[in-house]
Structure 1
Amino acid sequence: MTSSTNTADVKSADEQVTTQTAVKALVLLLITFILGTLCLQGFNLVFTQVGEDVGAPAQASLITAFPSIVLGIVCFIYGSLGDFVSLKRLVIVGLIMLFVGSVFGFVANFFFPANLWTVIVARVLQTAGEQVAGSVYLVITTKYLKNELKVVFFGLYTAGYQLSASIGVFAAGALSSIAWQYLFLIPAVTILFLPTLLKSLPGRQGSGDKVDWIGFTIFGLASAFLTLFFSYMAWWMLIVAVALFVVFAVYIAKASDPFVTPAFFKNTRWLAAMSLILVFYFTNYCISPLFNGIGTTVYGMTTAQVSTYVVWAFVCAAIVGTCSGLIIGRIGKQAALIIAACLMIAGFVSAALAVNAGFLALTIAACVFYCGVGLMYSPVVSTVLSTIPQEESGRGVGMNDLLMNVTASIGISIIGGLMGSQALAGSSITGATGAAAGYANLLLIGAGVMTLGLIVFLVFRKKIYAQD
């Protein structure tokens, strides 16, 4: 296939997708993503009960571990494939996989004796299928929407995630009293979206070049072992990951047509922008465990009681995320990013100072933090993706999602380890003592990381926005 033919195919695909059809597809993809994420949140909350019901309480964590590993890998692969293959084909495969996982999980564990591995297989299929919607949503937003609409739909994306999280947290107590098998069926309804999506999405997307499966396989395995390392802290996994990344670097330097060239990683604007994700998303998985730990350890609350407070923080994130496009339209991406960082810093610091001030005060601090989280996603992602050519935006989306997942995994591994060991308990500059001091110090560390992120942004922003 010649380059002129490829260019013509891409142009033809672009002409098929108007703003109206793109928005129609994005709405259905967002609903799919929300329902899939809600299912994920539900199983994250009840996996202990599921483990007991299937007779494998010691292995219950695998119910969340395996899907999380798969999520980290497919986030990168799906986004990157958007530059090479039909988005329509990706969505077909994804929705069918999600539907099969949903039906299989329910039938195999409701009508037959529940089994750990049927649960895990079903959850892996659901996770792999659901993430298609999230990745294609981001690719469509990046490739087919006008700049003023991009930030709106990036904001809706993070709002959808936070909405799912809020429902999942709020349902923490209720989920344990129903048959957990019904959770599998939540995203099954999305198969009904397939006919409309097939009409709205382009049949041919990207370059049309042959997919570099060797490169994808090497990079995917390297990403898998890196994610596994931060889940299990087994050093041999890190060694394997580093070795595979070295093999990947040699491969793309020598291969005739790799899916990503060394030049992609030499884009200094992109590298500077990606450093923002590396810092700002370090604590992404930490705040809920921290507040749950404070509630149960310091205040003697149950997880269900904690959830009735913390849910409002997720609601705040969803509201601000929904409005983030309008906010950015008024003040710009740079100002929005600075405000988001300041809100996250203020949330961490105020929570550290309020550890012994009552859980309502802590909830208000959490709301401040999550307002920053809701505002942060849209300017960060639009900033990162603006540093790469449009024809490479799928790979940009993939790398973006991968780094967010890996960075958050690193953060929860470190913060979670410190929580479990109570290494920082005893005293704190906030005046807290005992276990409360340990949580206050961890919250201050979170504030320090966010402050570092703000400094990194202020140092590199001229470089990042040099061509805007």
Structure 2
Amino acid sequence: MSNTATVRNPWSDPETSSKMAVKALIPLLVTFILGTLCLQGFNLVFAQVGEDVGAPAQASLITAIPGLVLGIVCFIYGSLGDFVSLKKLVVVGLVTLFIGSIFGFVANFIFPANLWTVIIARVLQTAGEQVAGSAFLVVASKYLKPELKVVFFGLFTAGYQISASIGVFAAGILSSIAWQYLFLIPAVTIVFLPLLLKNLPDRQGDGEKIDWRGFLIFGLATAFLTLFFSYMAWWMLALAVVLFIGFGVYITKADKPFITVDFFKNTRWLCAIALILVFYFPQYIISPMFNAIGASVYGMTTTQVSMHIVFAFLVAAAFGICSGGIVGKLGIRVVLPIAGTLMAAGYIASGLAVNSGFIVLTLCACLYYAGQGLMYSPVVSTVLGTLSQDESGRGVGMNDLVMNVSPSIGIALFSGLMSAQAFSGFSVVGATGAAASYSNIFLLAGLVPILGLLVFFAFRKRIYAD
């Protein structure tokens, strides 16, 4: 006669799993913040780095290649959360982040700095730190109590905005000392490994083999789509379309694809993801627009502009932190349109105030970023609420993908309007030349969140149907 002991899985109990999830989410959030801080820092000083390594013409690759990697791994990591152990995924991510950090510093500080050692290190860091961001969202969506989800989604977007603002200052300070020290900022996150090993679930999914072929096809399609909006090479778009069509055929024929046709037949999810597609479309344009206005209209330097814009980042962080409590009191269906209204008002006010002084423009930017900080928690909760728990990892992956691709398309289109000085021949506020162009582009951007509000009110009954 044999005795069998049943070991209870703590992740099967909602109360226990929620408590363990909170313990894991804090170090994951700190890791994501430090990794994003490093990313934002290099985005600011990449031109200086290019000069220092003797390759100023190729300096943009320092941000472009890691940005491409980020766009791909955002989707893959989130989706893998439905199939593989989050514990193993995070171990690989933190170790990769640490190796990239140390390699980047040693190879470019101890030894002569080189463009490709910088790029390789940044790719390793980007691939590593995004594990923390994706794992955070998967754990929050799968294991937290419903009332805690909106709180931690709000903290996530607040963390991003805080890291963006600190990254600007850190890069400014370190660029005058040695930019190589930026590599070391996220290296400290390796100390979180024991805590994460203790508090992350060891197994995900049902033990099926990972559909690497499907991930490869979808990843390549996403890569070429992202590259197209960076370089506007039409053959890249054509290849992306062919690959996406091939992926569609593949998931109808494969035995066990990582994502099925039924996933895309979920009309509630399609309506909800459309909100992210529209609301996030103009997200990336405000910083370059303010830089352009500061330089051409007010004669300001980039540093002076950043000293103003940083307050808008802090407003976004504050609203992100408070968004969970606001959603808890007012509800998702009320807060989401409020956030969209603030975003639209910020852009429209900027268009009307282009000649009213840069402090007034900064206040308009704060209005937009208040909406952006408030938007993340309710819109992500809305989209993930249309999926089952077993699909939440792929839902996180698709969210990240749309949040990266949509604003990339937006910045490509709006940048073209900016460089062409489009709409400079007329102005509703009496501006002329470049100021008229920027005013009208802001007004055009303000129509996008209004379109998002129309989508929301048109489909909200369908999206929130039980």
Q: TM-score range by the shorter chain?
A: over 0.9
Match of 2:51 in 1: 52
- State whether structure 2 residue 425 is matched by structure 1 residue 426: yes
Greater Cα shift, 163-172 or 223-232 = 163-172
| Superposition deviation, residue 170 in structure 1 | 3.9
Greater Cα shift, 390-399 or 204-213 = 204-213
* Alignment check: 8 A CA contact 1:9 1:207 kept: no
Residues 321-342 of structure 1: CA distance to partner in whole angstroms, max 9, x if unpaired?
0000000000000110011011
What TM-score do you get using the length of structure 2 for normalisation?
0.97
Matches within 5 A, 1:171-186: 171=170, 173-186=172-185
Opposite residue 142 of structure 1, the aligned amino acid is S
Opposite residue 334 of structure 1, the aligned amino acid is R
Q: State, as a whole percentage, how many aligned pairs show the same letter.
A: 70
Match of 2:12 in 1: 14
Say what the alpha-carbon RMSD is for the aligned residues. Answer: 1.5
Residues 392-434 of structure 1: CA distance to partner in whole angstroms, max 9, x if unpaired?
0000000010011000100111111111121222321222111
Match of 2:284 in 1: 285
Q: How far apart are the structure 2 equivalents of 1:10 and 1:414?
A: 54
Opposite residue 14 of structure 1, the aligned amino acid is S
- State whether structure 2 residue 235 is matched by structure 1 residue 236: yes
Match of 1:158 in 2: 157
Q: How far apart are the structure 1 equivalents of 2:128 and 2:258?
A: 22
Q: How far apart are the structure 2 equivalents of 1:407 and 1:444?
A: 19
Opposite residue 155 of structure 1, the aligned amino acid is G
- State whether structure 2 residue 81 is matched by structure 1 residue 92: no
Change (3 A) 1:10 1:279: farther
Q: How far apart are the structure 2 equivalents of 1:176 and 1:111?
A: 17
Q: How far apart are the structure 2 equivalents of 1:61 and 1:176?
A: 17
Match of 1:113 in 2: 112
| Superposition deviation, residue 173 in structure 1 | 3.9
* Alignment check: 8 A CA contact 2:102 2:187 kept: yes
What TM-score do you get using the length of structure 1 for normalisation?
0.96
Q: How far apart are the structure 2 equivalents of 1:171 and 1:107?
A: 20
- State whether structure 2 residue 455 is matched by structure 1 residue 452: no
Greater Cα shift, 161-170 or 93-102 = 161-170
Q: How far apart are the structure 2 equivalents of 1:187 and 1:278?
A: 30
Match of 1:4 in 2: none
Q: How far apart are the structure 2 equivalents of 1:456 and 1:84?
A: 33
Opposite residue 414 of structure 1, the aligned amino acid is L
Q: How far apart are the structure 2 equivalents of 1:257 and 1:220?
A: 18
| Superposition deviation, residue 243 in structure 1 | 0.5
- Moved segments of 4+, more than 6 Å: 8-12
* Alignment check: 8 A CA contact 2:421 2:434 kept: yes
Q: How far apart are the structure 2 equivalents of 1:446 and 1:169?
A: 25
Alignment: residue pair count: 460
* Alignment check: 8 A CA contact 1:270 1:384 kept: yes
Match of 1:205 in 2: 204
Match of 1:220 in 2: 219
Query: The residue matched to 1:259 in structure 2 has which SS?
Result: coil
| Superposition deviation, residue 176 in structure 1 | 3.0
Residues 310-366 of structure 1: CA distance to partner in whole angstroms, max 9, x if unpaired?
100000000000000000000000110011011111111111111111000000001
Query: The residue matched to 1:388 in structure 2 has which SS?
Result: coil
* Alignment check: 8 A CA contact 1:88 1:201 kept: yes
* Alignment check: 8 A CA contact 1:46 1:175 kept: no
| Superposition deviation, residue 14 in structure 1 | 3.4
Q: How far apart are the structure 1 equivalents of 2:174 and 2:9?
A: 48
Query: Unmatched 5+ residue regions in structure 1?
Result: 1-7
Q: How far apart are the structure 1 equivalents of 2:301 and 2:408?
A: 25
Residues 211-233 of structure 1: CA distance to partner in whole angstroms, max 9, x if unpaired?
01011111111111111111111
Residues 239-272 of structure 1: CA distance to partner in whole angstroms, max 9, x if unpaired?
1101011111111101111111100000000000
| Superposition deviation, residue 15 in structure 1 | 4.2
* Alignment check: 8 A CA contact 1:13 1:204 kept: no
| Superposition deviation, residue 174 in structure 1 | 2.9
